[in-house]
């Protein structure tokens, strides 16, 4: 067996409520598995509905003081959290890699990205100016102020266990909100480690609470029915997002939703082939394909199609697939056996409909939830993988001859998170970018995520934006006062 470099017994595993680490009252602890070895690496507390409400009590008790804490002070605490996360980057990356399975290099990239949200929102915390000006009639003044929206429930997925947590916690805290974080059941350890760091950075008790639970629907449903909760920020599947939007309707809670994607990756005949291949590898294989931004469908102009397909397949076949925590690994396992099953079904479906396997197309015969990096060509539009989010190391390719047809195919999905577009003609790129129905476009770029930029989707990919200046506004209530003097 391979060396496991991590001392996981130093990590917190209990609920964090009001600054205390508490056992859950929801029954037996929840086991956390390493997808590379299938071994249990830790067990975390299992919260009950009462624990969920206790977290709301704690967030409510801390709310007034935190909202009244000077923005500069909040900024300095967030900045300290950035520094502590950066100092512990290697350790955090190992935690991520162990519970999620992703390659250590991806995990290191995630820690750097995650920590940046603390730095960015440390800088935003002191820039929440309002407005004051005369009404058009001149009869009075229009004063606009920004207040913290109130207690925020933050529900995060397993694919970026650090970054999805910090992308929500940082703007919530910067805006002056207290919060309850509910990490994914598969990856609670990273979230708990981040919460511990926040405490060490000076975040007061009750400002950040963490609830892990097996009865997610029940506990989160109860929290969302508590009138003290005013904000929901969710990242996960569109299916669960729809459920949560209904849950949030009872108390008319403000919702930010980062949901599924089905990103097209378009390569035009005037593209730089090498740059497009580099971008394709990044857009497809960052996080082993387990990203909502992952390129899901590749549409390549027929003039480049054969060359692109062969070179892409060669690059995918050359990846080192192994245990996530090993430094040489480029592609780790999928998160769980159900993910392997689902992806294999998608591949079988595409092959049955006439797609040709250029590389991969099968599970790996070893311990762990591994699937070979796969490239399929001539995948017909009716194949399920062209319509559904793949969330794994599978790249389906199709060719096109006509720009209009390519844009129509790109937009023919209920999703609208991100599109990728490669062309040597920037004027054409900008023209087509505006026609792509997605919240984000990578124009000659295979990676767009940046804490300084507004991340988010159109259509069934979501509501609202995270990151940039937009991100903090999701945690703000706008107060208008008409003033006569
Ligand atoms: P993924 O496929 O990325 O796991 P999910 O949408 O299933 O996406 O899960 C994202 C997050 O939502 C996780 O933290 C999960 O535990 C949580 N979740 C799943 N079902 C519910 C639900 N009914 N109510 C609240 N949260 C849920």
Question: Could you report the per-residue pLDDT of 16-68, keeping only the tens digit for each?
Answer: 999 999 999 999 999 999 999 999 999 999 999 999 999 999 999 999 999 99
Residue nearest to atom 2 of ligand 1 (CA): 237
- The pLDDT of residue 1 is 43
Q: Enter the DSSP assignment of 390.
A: -
Neighbours of 23 (CB within 10 A): 13
Ligand 1 pocket, 210 CB below 6 A? no
Residues 6+ apart with CB under 8 A from 44: 13, 14, 29, 30, 32, 188, 189, 192, 212
Ligand 1 centroid – CA 13 distance (Å): 20
* Closest ligand 1 atom to Cα of 183: 14
Mutate to test the pocket of ligand 1, among 35, 101, 157 (most ligand atoms within 8 A of CB): 157
What is the Cα gyration radius of the chain? 23
Ligand 1 centroid – CA 424 distance (Å): 40
Ligand 1 pocket, 216 CB below 6 A? yes
Mutate to test the pocket of ligand 1, among 155, 158, 234, 240 (most ligand atoms within 8 A of CB): 240
Ligand 1 centroid – CA 245 distance (Å): 13
Distances, alpha carbon 35 to alpha carbons 60, 130, 300, 343, in Å:
37, 48, 34, 16
Mutate to test the pocket of ligand 1, among 156, 167, 210, 216 (most ligand atoms within 8 A of CB): 216
Q: Which residues of the chain have pLDDT under 70?
A: 1-6
As annotated, the active-site residues are: 258
pLDDT tens-digit readout, 46-60: 999 999 999 999 999
Ligand 1 pocket, 168 CB below 6 A? no
Residue nearest to atom 15 of ligand 1 (CA): 184
- The pLDDT of residue 40 is 95
Cα torsion through 108, 110, 114, 120, rounded to 10: 90
φ, ψ of residue 14 in degrees (nearest 5): -95, 175
Q: Strand order of the sheet with strand 141-148?
A: 131-134, 141-148, 476-483
Ligand 1 centroid – CA 338 distance (Å): 15
How far apart CA 476 and CA 72 sit, in angstroms, is 17
Residue nearest to atom 25 of ligand 1 (CA): 217
The H or E element spanning position 297 is strand 295-301
Cα torsion through 449, 453, 458, 463, rounded to 10: 110
* Closest ligand 1 atom to Cα of 159: 3
Ligand 1 pocket, 217 CB below 6 A? yes
- The pLDDT of residue 103 is 98
Residue nearest to atom 23 of ligand 1 (CA): 217
Ligand 1 pocket, 185 CB below 6 A? yes
């Amino acid at each position: 067996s391979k060396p496991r470099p991590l001392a996981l017994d130093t990590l917190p595993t209990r609920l964090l409520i009001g600054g205390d680490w508490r056992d859950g009252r929801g029954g037996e602890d929840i086991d956390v598995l390493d997808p590379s070895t299938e071994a249990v690496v830790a067990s975390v507390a299992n919260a009950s509905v009462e624990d969920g409400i206790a977290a709301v009590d704690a967030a409510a008790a801390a709310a007034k003081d935190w909202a009244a804490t000077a923005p500069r002070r909040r900024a300095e605490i967030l900045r300290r959290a950035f520094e502590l996360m950066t100092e512990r980057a290697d350790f955090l990356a190992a935690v991520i890699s162990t519970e999620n399975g992703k390659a250590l290099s991806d995990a290191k990239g995630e820690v750097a990205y995650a920590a940046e949200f603390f730095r960015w929102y440390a800088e935003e915390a002191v820039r929440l100016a309002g407005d004051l000006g005369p009404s058009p009639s001149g009869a009075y003044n229009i004063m606009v102020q920004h207040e913290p929206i109130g207690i925020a429930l933050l529900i995060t997925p397993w694919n970026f266990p650090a970054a999805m947590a910090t992308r929500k916690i940082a703007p919530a805290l910067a805006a002056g909100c207290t919060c309850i974080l509910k990490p994914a059941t598969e990856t609670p350890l990273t979230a708990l480690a981040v919460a511990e760091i926040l405490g060490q950075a000076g975040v007061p008790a009750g400002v950040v609470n963490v609830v892990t639970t097996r009865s997610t629907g029940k506990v989160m449903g109860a929290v969302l029915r508590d009138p003290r909760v005013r904000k929901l920020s969710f990242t996960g599947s569109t299916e669960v997002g729809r459920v949560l939007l209904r849950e949030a309707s009872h108390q008319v809670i403000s919702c930010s939703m980062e949901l599924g994607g089905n990103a097209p990756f378009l390569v035009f005949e005037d593209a730089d082939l090498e740059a497009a291949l580099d971008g394709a590898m990044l857009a497809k294989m960052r996080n082993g394909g387990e990203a909502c931004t992952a390129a899901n469908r590749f549409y390549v102009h027929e003039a480049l199609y054969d060359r692109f397909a062969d070179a892409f397949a060669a690059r995918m076949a050359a990846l080192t697939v192994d245990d996530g925590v090993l430094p040489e690994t480029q592609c780790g396992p999928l998160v769980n056996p159900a993910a392997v099953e689902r992806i294999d079904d998608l591949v079988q479906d595409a092959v049955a409909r006439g797609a040709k396997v250029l590389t991969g197309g099968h599970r790996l015969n070893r311990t762990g939830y591994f699937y070979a990096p796969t490239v399929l060509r001539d995948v017909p539009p009716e194949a399920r993988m062209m319509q559904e989010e793949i969330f794994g190391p599978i790249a389906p390719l199709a060719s096109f001859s006509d720009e209009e047809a390519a844009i129509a195919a790109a937009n023919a999905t209920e999703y609208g998170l991100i599109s990728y577009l490669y062309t040597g003609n920037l004027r054409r790129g900008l023209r087509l970018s505006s026609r792509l129905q997605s919240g984000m476009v990578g124009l000659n770029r295979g990676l767009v995520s940046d804490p300084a930029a507004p991340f988010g989707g159109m259509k069934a990919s979501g509501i609202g934006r995270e990151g940039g200046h937009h991100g903090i506004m999701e945690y703000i209530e706008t107060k208008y006062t008409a003033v006569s003097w």
